[in-house]
Amino acid sequence: MYVSKVRLQAFGRACQLTIDNSEGRGEALIAMCREELARLEAKFSAYDPNSITSKLNQSAGTGVTVPLDAEASSLFNYIDALWKQSKHLFDPTTRILRNCYDTDGHLRASKEQLNGMLKLVGLNHLERTDSGAHLARKGMLLDLNSCIRPYAVDSLKRRLLKQGAKHALIEMDQDIATIGKEPSGANWLIGVRLPKGNSAAISRLKLNNQGFAMRGDFEQSVLVNGERFGRALSPIDGHPIPGLLSVIVSADTCLAASGAATVARLKTESAGIKWLESLELGWLAVDRNLQCHGPLAS
């Protein structure tokens, strides 16, 4: 086979690996990637009851500290940087607020219920010391999957490069990284849906030796009193944030692309666009009127 391909689930999302098999090493490299994904899921996934994330949730409000090694501490430093850069709107403790909304994104909780949930929100209640971390309030829930996925994608890319891989596509839902071009010499092309008129069309973006991340989905937006909002919820009032509906960024790493897209999506539309313009990266944003912006929009 020219390439080895596999589809699997990781961190609750679909994952696809496409790796050059011209030297007959494709299956061995895929096995290595499976092993690394299993390691990261066991360590960080909110779906694994023995992960660091789950232990933090289980021990919330008890004062019990969960130890963090160098890798975990580095990831929490990244999360803290996003929290500060977004002026505290990026907050992985907002997971609990999803219980206040139905599957269509409409509020189903009363004002009193929502206010009660907001007492369990706030990354400032994640306390870290040299011995580890813990959540200060009982009932708090931390969900790090949106940060762990791009980290996992980059980790697979690093391992593949270390093994001498020259062509690979690593895709985990909205987080992607590539090595080189396709083995045939063609460009790696990433399909994204963009609003055009009253419908959505597929646009293909070239992605060679880069990371890619998309945050938000204009097709999953919700109308509230005639206004269109994304699904990101504010840790301040629990309501949808009136920012960009979709943000796509390409950068040297998937984690860098994810961080830029995450922060931009949580700012106001104009501030988000200015933020993206300041980064000198490839980007595309869809505003609340379904208009596209950015160098990748064409």
The total of structural domains in the chain comes to 2
Domain boundary among 155, 182, 209: 182
Q: Let me know whether 14 and 95 are in one domain.
A: no
Element (H, E) at 16: strand 13-20
Within-domain flag for 253: no
* Helices first, then strands: H and E counts in the chain: 7, 14
Q: Let me know whether 9 and 62 are in one domain.
A: no
| Averaged pLDDT, 6-29 | 92
| Averaged pLDDT, 19-34 | 93
Within-domain flag for 97: yes
| Averaged pLDDT, 230-240 | 94
Query: 171, 197 in Cβ contact below 8 A?
Result: no
- Determine the structural domain holding residue 27 and report its residue range: 1-42+144-182
The better pLDDT of the pair 160, 106 is held by 160
**Which of 21-30, 71-80, 198-207 shows the lowest mean pLDDT across its residues?**
198-207
Within-domain flag for 232: no
Token pair of 201 as six digits: 């069309």
Q: What is the pLDDT of residue 127?
A: 95
0.75 exceeded by pTM = yes
> Is a pLDDT exceeding 90 seen at residue 282?
yes
Q: What is the pLDDT of residue 223?
A: 86
Q: What is the pLDDT of residue 198?
A: 61
- Which CATH number covers residue 148? 3.10.520.10
> Is a pLDDT exceeding 60 seen at residue 1?
no
Within-domain flag for 220: no
Q: What is the pLDDT of residue 276?
A: 97
Q: Let me know whether 4 and 58 are in one domain.
A: no
pLDDT category, 272, cuts 50, 70, 90?
very high
The string of pLDDT tens digits covering residues 97-139 is 999 999 888 899 999 999 999 999 999 999 999 999 999 999 9
Q: Let me know whether 123 and 170 are in one domain.
A: no
Percent of the chain at pLDDT exceeding 70 = 98
72 vs 164: CA distance, rounded Å: 27
* Distant-in-sequence, close-in-space partners of 178: CB < 8 Å, separation ≥ 6: 168, 169, 170, 188, 207, 208, 209, 210
**Which of 18-27, 68-77, 199-208 shows the lowest mean pLDDT across its residues?**
199-208
Domain boundary among 92, 112, 143: 143
| Averaged pLDDT, 164-183 | 95
| Averaged pLDDT, 140-148 | 92
Which of 84, 97, 89, 114 lies closest to 243, judged by CA? 89
Within-domain flag for 255: no
**Which of 71-75, 78-82, 228-232, 254-258 shows the lowest mean pLDDT across its residues?**
228-232
